[in-house]
Amino acid sequence: MNGILPVSKPQGMSSYDVIRFLQKAIPTLQKHKIGHGGTLDPLAEGVLLLLIGEATKLFDFILEHNKTYEVWIQFGSATTTDDADGEIYATSPIIPSPDQVREVISHFTGHLSQIPPAYSALKVKGKRAYELAREGKQPNLQPREVEIFSHEILSYDQQNRILHTRVLCSSGTYIRSLARDIGNALGCYGHVARLIRTQTLGITLEQCADISRLTETNWTEFLLPMRTVVTLPSLEIKEASWILQGRKLSPHAFCNPPEYDGMYQIVKDEKLLAIGEWKEGRFFYKRVFHA
């Protein structure tokens, strides 16, 4: 059984907690390799793509894609983790006005440089940043270039100082850093109070299964073909067996020969067979997918 299982991750569980939960609830899943297509913090909710069987080979090809989030930012306090799970270490009585919020948000679009949260999985000299932070050390994290394609204010509760926005961003964007930096720009601190990933790779929250309702008899109803998350241009091969045989592929092997060098997915009858690079008149395999 191979494919993409989109689930709605509940708050309080790590991405791997979800996998362990489903393996216990659905014994069949214990027989398959399972991975996920992008970590969500325990505080976060929303779209989590589980890669089942041969789909685990897609990991390297689906990470670098845009994602959409809804985030609730609590102004007035800074926390050690830049979200509500951390300890508050600084507070501010400042209450930003709606006009101030709109002005600052307008500057948090486009290309941004952000420093990841101290509590992150990034490695610093071979050690996870969160491990250093737990030891009371300040990890030396370098700024990262990210892009915010759109940033829409959905509501602002001025009395309680909670801003609700929708963010479409590049892969690698830390929403916790975004919340922290917006709060700092307003002079009042800020951290993530709630976070929902609503879209990744074109798969929306509405398409995701509630993990508490998945059973041995219904989980395959939510399974999507591997091709669903592959955005590379496709080449239709004339004979599927040529892929499994590892044949060298010339332009004549395809119903639609490649027009330029680059990465492609090879398909037959809508089924994903391989991913690789077309270069100098030859196809170089990167991944081959077995039935």
Give the C-alpha separation, 243 to 35, whole Å: 24
C-alpha dist (Å) from residue 168 to 18, 151, 172, 200, 285: 25, 7, 12, 10, 32
Buried b or exposed e, range 16-26, using 16+ CB within 10 angstroms: eebbebbeeeb
Full residue range of the structural domain in which residue 162 is found: 67-200
Q: Say if residue 175 is in the same domain as residue 273.
A: no
pLDDT of residue 134: 73
What would the two tokens of residue 90 be? 């600084």
| Residues designated as active site | 41
Residues 98 and 189 in one domain: yes
User: What pLDDT, on a 0 to 100 scale, did the predictor assign at position 101?
Assistant: 98
Q: Are residues 57 and 164 in the same domain?
A: no
Shared-domain flag, residues 100 and 148: yes
* Cβ atoms < 10 Å from Cβ of 125: 7
CATH code (residue 260): 2.30.130.10
Task: With cut-offs at 50, 70 and 90, classify the pLDDT of residue 22.
Answer: very high
The CATH code of the domain that includes 51 is 3.30.2350.10
Distance CA 162, CA 156 (A): 6
pTM for the structure as a whole: 0.91
Domain end, chosen from 185, 200, 215, is at: 200
Q: What is the pLDDT of residues 152-183, one digit of tens each?
A: 999 999 999 999 999 999 998 999 999 999 99
The answer to whether residues 257 and 215 belong to one domain is no
Number of domains the chain is built from: 3
Domain boundary at 211, 226, 241, which?
Answer: 226
Q: What is the pLDDT of residues 51-88, one digit of tens each?
A: 999 999 999 888 888 999 999 999 999 999 999 999 99
pLDDT exceeds cutoff 80 at 120: no
pLDDT for the residue 286: 94
Q: Are residues 11 and 134 in the same domain?
A: no
248-261 pLDDT per residue, tens: 988 899 999 898 99
Tell me what pLDDT residue 62 has: 87
